[in-house]
Structure formats: structure tokens, C-alpha cells
Amino acid sequence: MKREFTRWGLGGQRTLVGGLQLCAVVGLLAGFKEPLLGSAASVGLALMMLVAVVVRIKVKDSIIQTIPALFYFGLQVYLSLKGF
């Protein structure tokens, strides 16, 4: 994973991205009790995945390498709109 972040030009942001992802997971779990918090966390993850898709396009990854980011982006958009 460390090499991938370097390849994407985001080597210095690896810790920040991981921390944001952990906060989002906590937000999603808290969303079972507080739906607004879950929705906010889901929107945040959707934005992160949109950035991931843009980064993969920018570094000219293949469609096969980009599909997981697209899938998770779609999943988060769905959760943002319908999940909570």
C-alpha cells in the first residue's frame, strides 16, 4: 500500500487518508444510533472515493484497476441517499 500511495503522488498523505477512513467507519457505525452522523460519514467516504477515482484516472490506471474505486464510490452514494 505504501508503494501505491507513492505511485499516486500521495506518499505524505497516507496517514491522513487512513485516519479519515477510520473516522468514517466510526461514523458509519454510529449511524445505527444517529442516522445523521451515518449519512455525513457516508458522504465523506463517497467524496474520498470520488477523489480516488480521479487520482486513478490522473495516473492513467487501467479500467480494471479503477473499478474497485468506482464500485465503492457507487456504494457510498447509495448509502448516502438510501442507507440512513
pLDDT in tens, 29-75: 999 999 999 999 999 999 999 999 999 999 999 999 999 999 999 99
Q: Judging by beta carbons within 10 Å of its beta carbon (0-12, 13-18, 19+), is residue 1 exposed, middle or buried?
A: exposed
How many Å from the N-terminal Cα to the C-terminal Cα in the chain? Answer: 31
Domain span at 22: 2-83
Grid cell locating 47: 467524496
Return d(Cα 42, Cα 35) in angstroms, integer.
10
What is the predicted pLDDT for the residue at 55? 94
Decide if pLDDT at 84 tops 80.
no
| Entry pTM | 0.84
Decide if pLDDT at 20 tops 90.
yes
Provide the number of structural domains found in the chain: 1
Banded pLDDT at 10 (limits 50, 70, 90): confident
- The neighbour count for residue 73, using CB atoms within 10 Å, is 19
